[in-house]
Amino acid sequence: MADSPEELISQLLTGGVEQLDIPDELLDKTIACYEDVGESLLDQGGDLWSVHPQGSITLGTMIRPPDEDGEYDIDIVCHKAISKTSTTQEKLKNEVGNMLTAYEKLKTDDDSDDLPILSINECRRCWTLGYDGFHLDVVPCVVDEDYPPDSILLTDLKLRPWHHSNPKGYAEWFRDQSAEMIRALEAKAEEAGVPAVPNWTVRTTLQRMVQVLKWHCANHFIDDLDDRPPSVIITTLAAHAYSGETDVFTAALNAITRMPDHIIEVGNKLWVPNPAHELENFADKWNEPNKRHEKFRSWLDVLAADLNSAGDTAGRGLDHLVDRLSESFDLGLLRKSAQRMGLEAKQFRDAGKLGMSRKAGALMATSASAPPIWKHTFHGPTQR
Protein backbone atom coordinates (compact mmCIF):
# COMPACT_ATOMS: atom_id res chain seq x y z
CA MET A 1 0.00 0.00 0.00
CA ALA A 2 1.19 3.53 -0.77
CA ASP A 3 1.75 5.85 2.16
CA SER A 4 3.31 8.78 0.28
CA PRO A 5 2.86 10.49 -3.11
CA GLU A 6 6.21 9.04 -4.21
CA GLU A 7 5.11 5.50 -3.45
CA LEU A 8 1.69 6.07 -5.03
CA ILE A 9 3.32 7.15 -8.32
CA SER A 10 5.86 4.34 -8.07
CA GLN A 11 3.16 1.71 -7.62
CA LEU A 12 1.15 3.10 -10.51
CA LEU A 13 4.12 3.19 -12.90
CA THR A 14 5.43 -0.18 -11.76
CA GLY A 15 2.02 -1.74 -12.26
CA GLY A 16 1.94 -0.29 -15.77
CA VAL A 17 5.40 -1.42 -16.78
CA GLU A 18 4.82 -4.90 -15.37
CA GLN A 19 2.34 -5.36 -18.19
CA LEU A 20 5.17 -4.70 -20.67
CA ASP A 21 7.28 -7.53 -19.22
CA ILE A 22 7.70 -10.49 -21.53
CA PRO A 23 5.15 -13.15 -20.50
CA ASP A 24 6.63 -16.31 -18.99
CA GLU A 25 5.25 -18.48 -21.79
CA LEU A 26 6.81 -16.28 -24.48
CA LEU A 27 10.08 -16.10 -22.55
CA ASP A 28 10.21 -19.89 -22.55
CA LYS A 29 9.67 -19.88 -26.30
CA THR A 30 12.45 -17.36 -26.93
CA ILE A 31 14.85 -19.44 -24.84
CA ALA A 32 13.88 -22.57 -26.75
CA CYS A 33 14.40 -20.73 -30.05
CA TYR A 34 17.87 -19.36 -29.35
CA GLU A 35 18.94 -22.71 -27.92
CA ASP A 36 17.67 -24.36 -31.10
CA VAL A 37 19.59 -21.84 -33.22
CA GLY A 38 22.72 -22.57 -31.19
CA GLU A 39 22.36 -26.32 -31.68
CA SER A 40 21.92 -25.83 -35.42
CA LEU A 41 25.04 -23.68 -35.71
CA LEU A 42 26.96 -26.26 -33.70
CA ASP A 43 25.74 -29.03 -36.00
CA GLN A 44 26.60 -27.05 -39.13
CA GLY A 45 29.81 -25.31 -38.14
CA GLY A 46 31.34 -27.44 -35.40
CA ASP A 47 32.20 -26.88 -31.77
CA LEU A 48 33.81 -23.49 -32.38
CA TRP A 49 30.33 -21.96 -32.41
CA SER A 50 28.16 -20.99 -29.43
CA VAL A 51 25.12 -18.78 -28.81
CA HIS A 52 24.07 -16.85 -25.71
CA PRO A 53 21.67 -13.96 -25.02
CA GLN A 54 22.75 -10.39 -24.36
CA GLY A 55 21.14 -7.01 -23.78
CA SER A 56 17.94 -6.15 -21.97
CA ILE A 57 16.66 -9.72 -21.72
CA THR A 58 19.70 -10.67 -19.63
CA LEU A 59 19.38 -7.54 -17.47
CA GLY A 60 15.69 -7.93 -16.67
CA THR A 61 14.86 -4.56 -18.28
CA MET A 62 13.17 -5.61 -21.51
CA ILE A 63 9.77 -4.11 -22.39
CA ARG A 64 7.33 -4.60 -25.21
CA PRO A 65 7.11 -1.63 -27.61
CA PRO A 66 4.02 0.50 -26.88
CA ASP A 67 2.14 -0.22 -30.12
CA GLU A 68 -0.18 -3.22 -30.21
CA ASP A 69 1.83 -4.92 -32.95
CA GLY A 70 5.15 -4.34 -31.18
CA GLU A 71 7.50 -7.29 -30.84
CA TYR A 72 9.95 -8.17 -28.12
CA ASP A 73 13.51 -7.66 -29.33
CA ILE A 74 15.85 -10.47 -28.20
CA ASP A 75 19.59 -9.98 -28.80
CA ILE A 76 21.79 -13.06 -29.02
CA VAL A 77 25.52 -13.32 -29.60
CA CYS A 78 26.66 -15.84 -32.21
CA HIS A 79 30.23 -16.50 -31.11
CA LYS A 80 32.93 -18.22 -33.13
CA ALA A 81 35.98 -19.05 -31.01
CA ILE A 82 38.60 -17.74 -33.43
CA SER A 83 40.72 -14.60 -33.62
CA LYS A 84 39.99 -11.69 -35.95
CA THR A 85 43.08 -12.53 -38.00
CA SER A 86 41.45 -15.79 -39.05
CA THR A 87 38.57 -14.14 -40.91
CA THR A 88 37.04 -10.83 -41.99
CA GLN A 89 33.87 -9.09 -40.87
CA GLU A 90 32.23 -9.72 -44.23
CA LYS A 91 33.24 -13.37 -44.30
CA LEU A 92 32.01 -13.99 -40.77
CA LYS A 93 28.74 -12.18 -41.41
CA ASN A 94 28.12 -14.21 -44.57
CA GLU A 95 29.08 -17.44 -42.83
CA VAL A 96 26.49 -16.85 -40.12
CA GLY A 97 23.94 -15.74 -42.70
CA ASN A 98 24.41 -18.91 -44.75
CA MET A 99 23.98 -21.13 -41.69
CA LEU A 100 20.88 -19.24 -40.59
CA THR A 101 19.41 -19.51 -44.09
CA ALA A 102 19.99 -23.25 -44.00
CA TYR A 103 18.43 -23.36 -40.54
CA GLU A 104 15.39 -21.42 -41.77
CA LYS A 105 14.95 -23.86 -44.67
CA LEU A 106 15.17 -26.80 -42.29
CA LYS A 107 12.51 -25.29 -40.03
CA THR A 108 10.29 -24.42 -42.98
CA ASP A 109 10.46 -28.01 -44.26
CA ASP A 110 9.67 -29.32 -40.79
CA ASP A 111 5.87 -29.55 -40.73
CA SER A 112 5.95 -30.41 -37.04
CA ASP A 113 7.57 -27.10 -36.02
CA ASP A 114 5.08 -25.17 -33.84
CA LEU A 115 7.05 -21.88 -33.87
CA PRO A 116 7.99 -21.18 -37.49
CA ILE A 117 10.46 -18.52 -38.60
CA LEU A 118 8.42 -15.83 -40.36
CA SER A 119 11.35 -13.90 -41.87
CA ILE A 120 15.12 -13.57 -42.04
CA ASN A 121 16.80 -10.23 -42.77
CA GLU A 122 20.31 -8.81 -42.75
CA CYS A 123 21.00 -5.65 -40.77
CA ARG A 124 24.12 -3.57 -40.19
CA ARG A 125 25.48 -5.65 -37.30
CA CYS A 126 23.22 -8.69 -37.18
CA TRP A 127 20.83 -11.09 -38.83
CA THR A 128 17.21 -10.92 -37.67
CA LEU A 129 14.97 -13.97 -37.37
CA GLY A 130 11.30 -13.02 -37.11
CA TYR A 131 8.84 -15.07 -35.05
CA ASP A 132 5.28 -14.52 -33.86
CA GLY A 133 5.52 -11.93 -31.06
CA PHE A 134 9.30 -11.50 -31.01
CA HIS A 135 12.43 -11.50 -33.13
CA LEU A 136 15.99 -12.67 -32.57
CA ASP A 137 18.85 -10.34 -33.53
CA VAL A 138 21.75 -12.70 -34.13
CA VAL A 139 25.05 -10.81 -33.78
CA PRO A 140 28.17 -12.54 -35.22
CA CYS A 141 31.37 -12.14 -33.21
CA VAL A 142 34.86 -13.52 -32.58
CA VAL A 143 37.24 -13.53 -29.63
CA ASP A 144 38.77 -10.20 -28.52
CA GLU A 145 42.22 -11.50 -27.64
CA ASP A 146 43.42 -8.12 -26.39
CA TYR A 147 40.74 -7.92 -23.65
CA PRO A 148 40.24 -11.36 -22.10
CA PRO A 149 38.38 -13.23 -20.86
CA ASP A 150 34.86 -12.17 -21.94
CA SER A 151 35.34 -9.38 -24.48
CA ILE A 152 34.26 -9.98 -28.07
CA LEU A 153 34.58 -8.32 -31.48
CA LEU A 154 31.38 -7.72 -33.46
CA THR A 155 30.87 -7.29 -37.16
CA ASP A 156 29.81 -3.86 -38.36
CA LEU A 157 29.65 -3.52 -42.11
CA LYS A 158 29.78 0.29 -41.95
CA LEU A 159 33.00 0.34 -39.92
CA ARG A 160 36.44 -0.82 -41.01
CA PRO A 161 37.63 -1.84 -37.52
CA TRP A 162 35.86 -4.56 -35.59
CA HIS A 163 33.36 -3.35 -33.00
CA HIS A 164 34.41 -4.02 -29.38
CA SER A 165 31.95 -5.29 -26.77
CA ASN A 166 31.61 -7.30 -23.56
CA PRO A 167 27.97 -8.23 -22.85
CA LYS A 168 28.79 -10.65 -20.04
CA GLY A 169 30.91 -8.06 -18.25
CA TYR A 170 28.21 -5.44 -18.76
CA ALA A 171 25.56 -7.64 -17.13
CA GLU A 172 27.84 -8.08 -14.12
CA TRP A 173 28.46 -4.32 -13.91
CA PHE A 174 24.73 -3.59 -14.10
CA ARG A 175 24.03 -6.02 -11.28
CA ASP A 176 26.73 -4.42 -9.13
CA GLN A 177 25.06 -0.99 -9.40
CA SER A 178 22.29 -2.18 -7.09
CA ALA A 179 22.83 -3.66 -3.64
CA GLU A 180 19.13 -4.53 -3.68
CA MET A 181 19.62 -6.62 -6.84
CA ILE A 182 22.65 -8.40 -5.39
CA ARG A 183 20.66 -9.34 -2.28
CA ALA A 184 17.66 -10.48 -4.35
CA LEU A 185 19.82 -12.63 -6.63
CA GLU A 186 21.65 -14.18 -3.70
CA ALA A 187 18.34 -15.02 -2.05
CA LYS A 188 16.99 -16.47 -5.29
CA ALA A 189 20.10 -18.59 -5.78
CA GLU A 190 19.94 -19.86 -2.18
CA GLU A 191 16.28 -20.74 -2.61
CA ALA A 192 17.05 -22.64 -5.81
CA GLY A 193 20.10 -24.32 -4.34
CA VAL A 194 22.44 -23.10 -7.09
CA PRO A 195 25.59 -20.93 -7.02
CA ALA A 196 24.05 -18.05 -8.98
CA VAL A 197 21.00 -17.02 -11.02
CA PRO A 198 20.83 -14.50 -13.91
CA ASN A 199 19.70 -10.88 -13.49
CA TRP A 200 16.43 -11.42 -15.32
CA THR A 201 15.07 -13.73 -12.61
CA VAL A 202 14.37 -10.77 -10.28
CA ARG A 203 12.87 -7.29 -10.54
CA THR A 204 14.32 -4.54 -8.37
CA THR A 205 14.00 -0.76 -8.14
CA LEU A 206 16.85 -0.20 -10.63
CA GLN A 207 15.38 -2.61 -13.18
CA ARG A 208 11.88 -1.16 -12.88
CA MET A 209 13.21 2.39 -13.07
CA VAL A 210 15.05 1.59 -16.31
CA GLN A 211 11.88 0.02 -17.72
CA VAL A 212 9.85 3.15 -16.85
CA LEU A 213 12.41 5.38 -18.60
CA LYS A 214 12.35 3.15 -21.68
CA TRP A 215 8.52 3.15 -21.64
CA HIS A 216 8.38 6.95 -21.58
CA CYS A 217 11.08 7.15 -24.26
CA ALA A 218 9.26 4.75 -26.57
CA ASN A 219 6.11 6.88 -26.39
CA HIS A 220 8.02 10.15 -26.77
CA PHE A 221 9.79 8.96 -29.93
CA ILE A 222 6.92 6.91 -31.36
CA ASP A 223 6.92 9.06 -34.52
CA ASP A 224 10.70 9.50 -34.63
CA LEU A 225 12.09 5.98 -34.42
CA ASP A 226 15.34 6.77 -36.24
CA ASP A 227 16.39 9.24 -33.55
CA ARG A 228 15.11 7.32 -30.53
CA PRO A 229 17.95 6.82 -28.03
CA PRO A 230 19.27 3.24 -27.93
CA SER A 231 18.12 1.22 -24.95
CA VAL A 232 21.71 0.61 -23.88
CA ILE A 233 22.39 4.35 -23.51
CA ILE A 234 19.35 4.84 -21.28
CA THR A 235 20.23 1.75 -19.24
CA THR A 236 23.89 2.68 -18.81
CA LEU A 237 23.33 6.30 -17.84
CA ALA A 238 20.46 5.40 -15.51
CA ALA A 239 22.50 2.69 -13.78
CA HIS A 240 25.40 5.11 -13.34
CA ALA A 241 23.00 7.66 -11.84
CA TYR A 242 21.15 5.26 -9.55
CA SER A 243 21.98 5.84 -5.88
CA GLY A 244 20.10 3.08 -4.11
CA GLU A 245 16.69 4.76 -3.92
CA THR A 246 13.92 2.38 -2.86
CA ASP A 247 11.00 3.73 -4.88
CA VAL A 248 10.85 3.97 -8.67
CA PHE A 249 9.59 7.55 -8.82
CA THR A 250 12.37 9.02 -6.66
CA ALA A 251 14.97 6.86 -8.40
CA ALA A 252 13.86 8.07 -11.83
CA LEU A 253 13.58 11.73 -10.86
CA ASN A 254 17.05 11.74 -9.31
CA ALA A 255 18.61 9.75 -12.15
CA ILE A 256 17.35 12.16 -14.79
CA THR A 257 19.33 15.02 -13.27
CA ARG A 258 22.52 12.93 -13.01
CA MET A 259 22.46 11.03 -16.31
CA PRO A 260 24.05 13.81 -18.42
CA ASP A 261 27.03 13.85 -16.04
CA HIS A 262 28.07 10.47 -17.44
CA ILE A 263 28.19 11.62 -21.07
CA ILE A 264 31.81 12.54 -21.75
CA GLU A 265 33.82 14.06 -24.58
CA VAL A 266 36.89 12.33 -25.99
CA GLY A 267 38.71 14.12 -28.77
CA ASN A 268 35.69 16.29 -29.60
CA LYS A 269 33.48 13.20 -29.76
CA LEU A 270 30.63 12.30 -27.42
CA TRP A 271 31.05 9.08 -25.50
CA VAL A 272 28.86 6.88 -23.33
CA PRO A 273 31.49 4.22 -22.62
CA ASN A 274 30.67 0.60 -22.01
CA PRO A 275 31.68 0.21 -18.33
CA ALA A 276 32.89 -3.30 -19.18
CA HIS A 277 34.98 -2.32 -22.23
CA GLU A 278 36.85 0.96 -22.56
CA LEU A 279 36.84 0.88 -26.37
CA GLU A 280 33.08 0.53 -26.89
CA ASN A 281 31.17 3.79 -27.26
CA PHE A 282 27.42 3.31 -26.99
CA ALA A 283 26.90 6.85 -28.33
CA ASP A 284 28.96 6.40 -31.50
CA LYS A 285 26.01 7.36 -33.72
CA TRP A 286 25.68 10.68 -31.88
CA ASN A 287 28.90 11.72 -33.64
CA GLU A 288 27.38 11.31 -37.09
CA PRO A 289 25.68 14.31 -38.74
CA ASN A 290 22.36 14.24 -36.85
CA LYS A 291 20.56 15.73 -33.85
CA ARG A 292 20.25 12.56 -31.81
CA HIS A 293 22.15 13.90 -28.81
CA GLU A 294 20.12 17.10 -28.74
CA LYS A 295 16.91 15.08 -28.96
CA PHE A 296 18.08 12.85 -26.12
CA ARG A 297 18.68 15.84 -23.86
CA SER A 298 15.32 17.33 -24.86
CA TRP A 299 13.61 14.06 -23.98
CA LEU A 300 15.22 14.09 -20.52
CA ASP A 301 13.81 17.59 -19.97
CA VAL A 302 10.33 16.43 -20.97
CA LEU A 303 10.58 13.37 -18.73
CA ALA A 304 11.67 15.49 -15.76
CA ALA A 305 8.77 17.88 -16.32
CA ASP A 306 6.29 14.99 -16.57
CA LEU A 307 7.47 13.35 -13.36
CA ASN A 308 7.56 16.63 -11.43
CA SER A 309 4.03 17.37 -12.63
CA ALA A 310 2.95 13.90 -11.51
CA GLY A 311 4.39 14.63 -8.09
CA ASP A 312 2.32 17.82 -7.89
CA THR A 313 -0.80 15.91 -8.97
CA ALA A 314 -0.48 12.85 -6.73
CA GLY A 315 -2.14 14.51 -3.72
CA ARG A 316 -5.33 15.10 -5.74
CA GLY A 317 -6.10 11.39 -6.04
CA LEU A 318 -5.39 8.39 -8.19
CA ASP A 319 -7.79 9.37 -10.99
CA HIS A 320 -6.11 12.76 -11.47
CA LEU A 321 -2.70 11.11 -11.38
CA VAL A 322 -3.70 8.62 -14.08
CA ASP A 323 -5.01 11.43 -16.28
CA ARG A 324 -1.78 13.41 -15.91
CA LEU A 325 0.57 10.49 -16.57
CA SER A 326 -1.52 9.29 -19.51
CA GLU A 327 -0.24 12.30 -21.45
CA SER A 328 3.16 10.60 -21.57
CA PHE A 329 2.48 6.94 -20.78
CA ASP A 330 -0.09 4.47 -22.07
CA LEU A 331 -3.54 5.21 -20.63
CA GLY A 332 -4.74 1.62 -20.92
CA LEU A 333 -1.81 0.26 -18.94
CA LEU A 334 -2.16 2.96 -16.29
CA ARG A 335 -5.86 2.26 -15.87
CA LYS A 336 -5.21 -1.46 -15.42
CA SER A 337 -2.54 -0.64 -12.86
CA ALA A 338 -4.91 1.74 -11.04
CA GLN A 339 -7.69 -0.85 -11.09
CA ARG A 340 -5.40 -3.39 -9.49
CA MET A 341 -4.35 -0.84 -6.85
CA GLY A 342 -8.01 -0.05 -6.24
CA LEU A 343 -8.82 -3.72 -5.82
CA GLU A 344 -6.03 -4.11 -3.29
CA ALA A 345 -7.28 -1.03 -1.45
CA LYS A 346 -10.82 -2.46 -1.38
CA GLN A 347 -9.55 -5.74 0.04
CA PHE A 348 -7.84 -3.86 2.88
CA ARG A 349 -10.89 -1.64 3.44
CA ASP A 350 -13.23 -4.63 3.59
CA ALA A 351 -10.96 -6.08 6.24
CA GLY A 352 -11.21 -2.83 8.19
CA LYS A 353 -7.46 -2.17 7.93
CA LEU A 354 -7.34 0.93 5.78
CA GLY A 355 -7.28 4.55 6.86
CA MET A 356 -6.41 7.89 5.27
CA SER A 357 -3.00 9.35 5.91
CA ARG A 358 -3.35 13.02 6.84
CA LYS A 359 0.11 13.94 5.56
CA ALA A 360 -0.53 13.20 1.89
CA GLY A 361 -4.08 12.01 1.38
CA ALA A 362 -2.65 8.58 0.50
CA LEU A 363 -4.10 5.25 1.57
CA MET A 364 -2.24 3.43 4.30
CA ALA A 365 -2.86 0.78 6.95
CA THR A 366 -5.14 2.08 9.69
CA SER A 367 -3.43 3.23 12.86
CA ALA A 368 -4.79 4.72 16.07
CA SER A 369 -4.40 8.22 14.63
CA ALA A 370 -6.02 7.54 11.28
CA PRO A 371 -9.81 7.87 10.92
CA PRO A 372 -11.49 4.67 9.76
CA ILE A 373 -12.88 4.37 6.24
CA TRP A 374 -16.58 3.56 6.14
CA LYS A 375 -17.60 0.23 4.68
CA HIS A 376 -20.28 0.70 2.01
CA THR A 377 -23.24 -1.68 1.93
CA PHE A 378 -26.57 -1.69 0.13
CA HIS A 379 -28.10 -0.39 3.37
CA GLY A 380 -25.78 2.58 3.80
CA PRO A 381 -22.38 2.99 5.48
CA THR A 382 -21.53 1.17 8.66
CA GLN A 383 -18.42 1.77 10.71
CA ARG A 384 -15.94 -1.07 10.91
Amino acid 70: pLDDT: 78
Whole-angstrom distance, CA of residue 121 vs CA of residue 358: 58
- Residue pair 44/99 in contact (Cβ under 8 Å)? The answer is yes
Q: Is the pLDDT of residue 359 over 50?
A: no
pTM of the model: 0.86
Q: Is the pLDDT of residue 353 over 90?
A: no
- Residue pair 355/365 in contact (Cβ under 8 Å)? The answer is yes
Amino acid 296: pLDDT: 98
Whole-angstrom distance, CA of residue 121 vs CA of residue 229: 23
Each residue of 155-196: pLDDT tens digit? 988 878 899 999 999 999 999 999 999 999 999 999 999 999
What value, to the nearest 5°, has the Cα angle with vertex 262 and ends 261 and 268? 95
Each residue of 255-298: pLDDT tens digit? 999 999 999 999 899 999 999 999 999 999 999 999 999 999 99
Within 10 A of 210 (CB to CB), how many other CB atoms are there?
30
Average pLDDT, the chain: 87
Q: Is the pLDDT of residue 355 over 50?
A: no
